[in-house]
C-alpha cells in the first residue's frame, strides 16, 4: 500500500509541476502569436489527446517524467510561407526570451500560490524550544540552555524548527561564529548568543544542523508503549503486541520510548531479554534487533514497532495565519528565500561545500512525496511548493537543453546583435545533454544508495 501511495503521490506532484511549467511556455507563446503544435504532459506514446480550434494537440503521454510544448519552427521542419509569421524562430529576441522564461516563472508562481494558501488557511508549527544541550558543544559554549526558545538565527526571525533549520542550513560553510537569539521561559526579551563554528556543515551528508550544534528540540515525554507491530519484523517474531509497555531491556529499566529506541539501536543483531507489562502481568521476551544500515555506513538495530502519537501541549504549538493580503507578502518572501537558498545550495555543491550525494532523483522524490501525503495536506502542499521552486531553479541553470541555456543564447544575441551560430548551438546541445545525463545518473545512483 505504501508503494502504491508513493507512486500516486509522485504522479500527482510531477503532473502538477510539469503542467504548470509547460503551460507557462504555452500561454506566453500564444500571446506572442506563436502557433503551438502540441502541449504534452509526459513523454512517449500519447494515452489521451485532443485538438482545440487553434490546431493545438493536447496530450497526456505514458512516461510522466517531463513534458514539452512543440511550437511551429523552421529549424524543426518546413513551414508554409503563409504561416512563417507564426513560427517561433521568426519572433524577435525579446519575445523568445519571454516564452522560454515563462516556464520557470510559472513554477515560482505555483509555489507562491501554494504558500499563500497555507498562510491563509493557517499552519500549525512547534515552538522552537530547546530540550537539551550537549555539554562541550557549540551551543553550550555559546550559552544556550534547555528551556530557551530560539527567536532568531543570523538576525533572521524564526517561529518554528523548520525555519531554524532553514536558516542554519543557509549558513553552510561559515567559520567563526553563528548568531542565535534565544529567550528564557517567561522572558519577553531575547539575548544574542555567539556559537563558535568552523567549516559549518561542510560536506556533511545529510546536513544535521541541530545535532552538530548540540541542540535537542523539546518533545513531550512519550511512554514506552507499543502501538503497532509490523509483520515479519523482529518485534513480531519476539511476540511483542500492541499495548505492551516496555519495562526493561537487558535488565536496564526503560524511562520512555526514546530511551527504548536508543537501547534497540545500539544492539543490531544482539539477542536481549525485554521485560514488558501486558494486561497487568510481567513477561520476558527474547528480542533480536535486525541490523539496518545508515547512509554513513554504520548499522543500527531495528525491530519494526511503532508508538502512538502524543499530543503536544498548547503552549508548545503555534499557529501561523495571515489575512489574504498579508499572506501574499509572506508567500512572496518565503518563495524568494527558498529560491535564493536553492541557488546557493547549487553554488556550494559546485565549490565542494555540500556533498553531491545530497542530490535526489525520482526514487527519493517518490518516497518524500508519499511521506508528505501521509502526513497531511499541509505537508504535501509545502513539499509541492519546494519542489516547484527546485524545478524552476534547475531550468534556469545556464546549461544547453534547459531553459536557462536557451536564455543564455538569447542574451548573447542581445549583446552581439546577431544570433548564436547553429554550429555553436549544436556543440552546446551535446555538452548540455552530457551534463544533464550525468546529473540524472548521479541522482539515481544516490537514490539507490539510500535504499540500500
- On whether residue 318 sits in a domain, the answer given is no
Active site residue 22: yes
- On whether residue 68 sits in a domain, the answer given is no
Asked whether residue 117 falls in the same domain as residue 150, the answer is no
pLDDT at 360: 78
Asked whether residue 249 falls in the same domain as residue 371, the answer is no
* Nearest in space to 197 (alpha carbons), one of 225, 169, 222: 169
pLDDT at 281: 93
| Torsion sign, CA atoms 233, 272, 218, 311 | positive
Question: How many other CB atoms are there within 10 angstroms of residue 279's CB atom?
Answer: 8
Q: Are 225 and 308 in contact (CB under 8 A)?
A: yes
CA 323 to each of CA 108, 117, 119, 120: distance values in angstroms, whole numbers, following the listed order:
21, 11, 8, 6
Asked whether residue 231 falls in the same domain as residue 349, the answer is no
Per the structure, the count of domains in the chain is 3
Mean pLDDT (the chain, rounded) = 89
**Which has the higher per-residue pLDDT, 328 or 123?**
328
Q: Are 395 and 117 in contact (CB under 8 A)?
A: no
Asked whether residue 244 falls in the same domain as residue 184, the answer is no
- On whether residue 45 sits in a domain, the answer given is no
Asked whether residue 363 falls in the same domain as residue 295, the answer is no
- On whether residue 411 sits in a domain, the answer given is yes
Share of the chain above pLDDT 90, in %: 58
User: CA–CA separation, 383 vs 367, rounded Å?
Assistant: 12
E strands in 29-164: 36-51, 57-71, 123-126, 130-133, 149-153, 156-157
pLDDT at 451: 67
Asked whether residue 330 falls in the same domain as residue 449, the answer is yes
Asked whether residue 117 falls in the same domain as residue 134, the answer is no
Domain hosting residue 159, numbered range: 130-217
CATH number of the structural domain spanning residue 172: 2.30.42.10
* Nearest in space to 51 (alpha carbons), one of 41, 36, 66: 36
Domain endpoint, select from 280, 308, 336: 308
pLDDT at 214: 94
pLDDT surpassing 90 at residue 104: yes
Strand arrangement, sheet containing 191-197: 156-157, 149-153, 176-183, 191-197
Asked whether residue 342 falls in the same domain as residue 436, the answer is yes
pLDDT at 295: 57
**Which has the higher per-residue pLDDT, 27 or 66?**
27
- On whether residue 83 sits in a domain, the answer given is no
- On whether residue 449 sits in a domain, the answer given is yes
Place 296 in a pLDDT band, splitting at 50, 70 and 90. Answer: low
Asked whether residue 332 falls in the same domain as residue 350, the answer is yes
Domain endpoint, select from 217, 248, 281: 217
Asked whether residue 450 falls in the same domain as residue 329, the answer is yes
CA 155 to each of CA 172, 190, 200, 255, 376: distance values in angstroms, whole numbers, following the listed order:
16, 12, 17, 38, 31
Distance of alpha carbon 369 from the chain centroid:
9
- In the block, residue with C-alpha cell 522560454: 100
- On whether residue 372 sits in a domain, the answer given is yes
- On whether residue 25 sits in a domain, the answer given is no
Cell numbers describing residue 217: 528540540
22, 163, 167, 275: which one is catalytic? Answer: 22
Asked whether residue 302 falls in the same domain as residue 412, the answer is no
pLDDT surpassing 80 at residue 187: yes
pLDDT at 2: 57
Asked whether residue 329 falls in the same domain as residue 450, the answer is yes
Cell numbers describing residue 165: 533549520
| Torsion sign, CA atoms 323, 328, 331, 337 | negative
For residue range 48-83, what is the model confidence (pLDDT) as tens digits?
Answer: 999 999 889 999 988 877 889 999 998 888 889 899
CA 176 to each of CA 18, 207, 208, 402: distance values in angstroms, whole numbers, following the listed order:
42, 18, 18, 38
Domain endpoint, select from 188, 217, 246: 217
Residues forming a β-bridge with 273: 286
Strand arrangement, sheet containing 272-278: 252-253, 245-249, 272-278, 281-287
Amino acid at each position: 500500500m505504501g508503494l502504491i501511495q508513493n507512486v500516486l503521490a509522485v504522479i500527482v506532484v510531477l503532473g502538477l509541476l510539469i503542467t504548470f511549467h509547460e503551460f507557462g511556455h504555452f500561454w506566453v507563446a500564444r500571446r506572442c502569436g506563436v502557433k503551438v503544435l502540441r502541449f504534452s504532459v509526459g513523454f512517449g506514446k500519447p494515452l489521451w489527446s485532443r485538438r482545440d480550434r487553434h490546431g493545438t494537440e493536447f496530450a497526456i503521454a505514458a512516461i510522466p517524467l517531463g513534458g514539452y510544448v512543440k511550437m511551429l519552427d523552421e529549424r524543426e521542419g518546413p513551414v508554409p510561407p503563409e504561416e512563417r509569421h507564426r513560427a517561433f524562430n521568426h519572433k524577435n529576441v525579446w519575445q523568445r526570451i519571454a516564452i522560454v522564461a515563462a516556464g520557470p516563472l510559472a513554477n515560482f508562481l505555483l509555489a507562491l500560490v501554494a504558500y499563500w494558501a497555507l498562510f491563509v488557511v493557517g499552519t500549525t508549527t512547534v515552538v522552537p524550544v530547546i530540550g537539551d544541550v550537549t555539554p562541550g558543544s557549540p551551543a553550550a559554549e555559546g550559552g544556550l540552555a534547555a528551556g530557551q526558545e530560539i527567536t532568531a538565527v543570523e538576525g533572521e526571525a524564526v517561529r518554528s524548527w523548520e525555519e531554524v533549520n532553514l536558516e542554519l542550513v543557509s549558513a553552510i560553510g561559515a567559520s567563526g561564529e553563528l548568531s542565535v537569539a534565544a529567550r528564557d521561559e517567561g522572558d519577553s526579551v531575547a539575548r544574542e548568543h555567539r556559537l563558535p563554528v568552523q567549516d559549518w556543515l561542510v560536506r556533511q551528508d545529510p546536513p544535521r544542523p541541530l545535532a552538530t550544534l548540540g541542540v535537542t528540540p523539546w518533545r513531550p515525554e512519550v511512554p514506552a508503549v507499543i502501538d503497532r507491530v509490523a509483520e515479519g519484523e523482529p518485534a513480531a517474531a519476539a511476540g511483542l503486541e500492541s499495548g505492551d509497555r516496555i519495562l526493561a531491556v537487558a535488565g536496564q529499566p526503560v524511562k520512555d520510548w526514546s530511551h527504548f529506541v536508543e537501547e534497540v539501536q545500539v544492539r543490531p543483531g544482539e539477542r536481549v531479554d525485554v521485560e514488558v507489562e501486558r494486561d497487568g502481568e510481567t513477561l520476558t521476551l527474547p528480542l533480536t534487533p535486525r541490523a539496518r544500515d545508515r547512509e554513513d555506513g554504520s548499522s543500527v538495530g531495528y525491530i519494526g514497532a511503532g508508538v502512538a502519537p502524543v499530543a503536544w501541549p498548547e503552549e508548545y504549538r503555534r499557529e501561523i495565519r495571515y489575512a489574504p493580503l498579508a499572506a501574499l507578502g509572506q508567500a512572496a518572501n518565503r518563495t524568494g528565500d527558498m529560491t535564493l537558498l536553492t541557488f546557493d545550495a547549487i553554488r556550494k555543491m559546485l565549490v565542494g561545500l555540500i556533498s553531491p550525494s545530497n542530490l535526489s532523483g525520482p526514487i527519493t522524490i517518490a518516497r518524500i512525496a508519499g511521506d508528505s501525503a501521509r502526513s497531511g495536506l499541509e505537508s504535501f502542499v509545502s513539499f509541492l511548493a519546494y519542489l516547484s521552486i527546485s524545478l524552476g531553479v534547475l531550468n534556469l541553470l545556464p546549461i544547453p537543453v534547459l531553459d536557462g541555456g536557451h536564455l543564455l543564447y538569447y542574451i548573447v544575441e542581445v549583446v552581439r546583435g546577431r544570433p548564436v551560430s547553429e554550429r555553436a548551438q549544436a556543440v552546446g546541445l551535446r555538452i548540455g545533454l552530457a551534463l544533464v545525463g550525468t546529473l540524472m545518473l548521479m541522482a539515481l545512483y544516490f537514490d539507490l544508495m539510500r535504499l540500500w
